[in-house]
Amino acid sequence: MIHTKRKTPMKWCIMALLLLTSVSDMIAQRDTHIGNELHKYIQQGWDIQHQSMSFDSLHIYISAKAPHDTQYDIYVSEARGEVWLAPVRLPKDINTEEDELWPSISSDEQTLYFVRHT
């Protein structure tokens, strides 16, 4: 799936993306604190699958299953200085009753690429 935020008019739209090749699991670790921050959530029962760092290294997009959830959703965490804020679930037009996995954000942070497992 591609989820793009258009500047004019300001709308959210979802378009289907045909995946012709397999996607490899990568994490851009530009900040040494990320591993420690994610580890805290793993200890709290989160099942973290895939991560994607924004180009400016200020946001990390996470595919995770929170404690007591039944599906994987996409969350975003923001860096404030050397501290990473708690992950926030993205809106329902992105996260559905299905699993949303493999988030990848464009360099301008206007387009989110992800896979929806049905």
- Render each residue's pLDDT in the chain as its tens digit; 118 residues: 555 554 433 333 333 232 222 222 333 344 445 666 666 766 678 888 888 999 998 999 999 998 888 999 999 999 888 778 888 999 999 999 999 999 999 999 999 999 998 7
Task: Provide the 3-class DSSP secondary structure of residue 115.
Answer: strand
Q: Which residues, in sequence order, are CB contacts of 100 under 8 Å at separation 6+?
A: 1, 63, 71, 72, 73, 74, 94, 114, 115, 116, 117
* pTM for the full predicted model: 0.69
Classify the phi-psi angles of 45: left when phi > 0, otherwise alpha if psi is within -120 to 50, otherwise beta. left
| Total domain count, the chain | 1
Domain residues for the domain of 49 are 2-18+26-117
Q: Which stretch of DSSP H or E encloses residue 36?
A: helix 33-43
Q: Write down the pLDDT at residue 61.
A: 94
The CA dihedral of 113, 114, 115, 118, to the nearest 10 degrees, is -110
Structure tokens at 62: 């996470």
Q: Write down the pLDDT at residue 1.
A: 53
